[in-house]
Structure 1
């Protein structure tokens, strides 16, 4: 549905004039008091008439001017020499027109707009003639526009059908291309499988049948290899841990040699203990095998190392700083106790008091 009111430009007068000149439109300036509702209703009633509204929408740029709003608009109204409001100013290259008071009516405005649209003078009789001519031409123009619109819709529909047909052709071409690629990939896969089969037959002819080793056979081989080994975990007293495998028939002396070579632990300053069950291995077990000592298939050995002589040995330890400090404290405490006891039992010296001589009267 078409709007029943013109579109008003919300901006300054200078910008509206520049825009109208650029777009080759007629600048229609309506001077209306801001507080007067009657003036606004009168202007709206004139512009919304059936003959004037199409002209205004098609050929005019409308702007409302309040003479008291801004200094620039007040000067603009002063240049128009508008003595009363409301008034309508028509700005066109063929001449400017001011309609106010009694001349502000629908007939005058329609005639002036028609003459300005066709670029003629401001004679009232000519304006009325051209107004009738413009009305007939506007009807022909609307009929021509309607015919053009129908033709455009028909061509646009045909264009959409052509585009839809082209998209269908493209989709069919893409589908055929995918089918061709899949067929080629399938044929290539068949050729690869055939080549692999031929290579296997050629290998069998040259080298004979190969025995397939199953996972069960591999597991049995690995189990037999592990059955002949003893896995020992060594833990030192400083927290270090190492793991090593030995044969079942290996002597315990081999374990001692491994500890001395890898951990740097001397036999005279160490002790090897089986954690579970608790057992201390002395030097008399070096000739026995690991299986005889019950270390198969795995065991954990604790290697205890002493920085000084092992427990049970007696030798004089050197005097340390802590022992020296303890001896000094004990000596001071003994001296204090001796002084406390002997100081209280010593005889006390007598105390002599010297009195002053008596006074002589």
Structure 2
């Protein structure tokens, strides 16, 4: 617990030097090993330049905050660096080296800046930031308490490290797909088999046709409509549809029957003609093998490429017919695993974004 604090304007303990922001063109023309920071959300340089260039102002072991871009994020740069116009240095004044902890200041300044709601249209300018007041622990003699600041910094760093790890788990899990190994007999069928499947590509939608409400339009992103139109396409909505994205990240989605939608020319639609092939099973089976084809923005998942390359294994009975019972068993296993994955993702996301508070 912090016993006592003092409210201090940042201008009292920091210099806010003027800079000549380094541009991307300057970086290209002066490559080197010194990092240049911009308005990114993480401490990732936008490039590197050479050392001791006369027209560049360098800094070392000081804070820097994002004036624009991911506005309000603060970083403790412990090495030599420079910045562009989106990222500005905050240099500790002489005489405060033994009483002000930069790690602690990074935490509380960032918390303060983010709470003020700065954005692109409301930049965190030097004039605004230098007048911001923050609470700094003091001892019984009313001097800044470096040890307490350090303790808070160490606790925060430990918690923040755990949160970063949880965030990485979340990013991995949210894009993961669990493949269920089922040893039952199967038949391999191609999506080009016109007795079993009907495949088609949607039609182009013009920007002026997009409205705020109506029939959802699906394009390369098969999980989120990018707009709405007045009328649906000529797809048969009496049965479920499987749709896939032709450009970008290749994936499949399931749309239930009686759900009108409009696919664009960046979205493919698969209809099942054989009633003993269950749509949800086909979805899981296709998603389980989606990575092996290498479809992307260059090698597009066009109608031709889908028909020529994509096959799927479907359980069969001893008589060689499609086994709907086994398909349904696999569907239930996938649904259970998907529910667990979704729940874990939700919990990891919450835990990785919890705001760390320290009592005064």
Instruction: Indicate whether the TM-score tops 0.5.
Output: no
The TM-score, its normalising length taken from structure 2, stands at: 0.21
Answer with 1 or 2: which has the greater Rg: 1
Question: Higher relative contact order at CA 8 Å, sep ≥6: structure 1 or structure 2?
Answer: 2
By percentage of residues, which structure has more strand?
Answer: 2
By percentage of residues, which structure has more helix?
Answer: 1
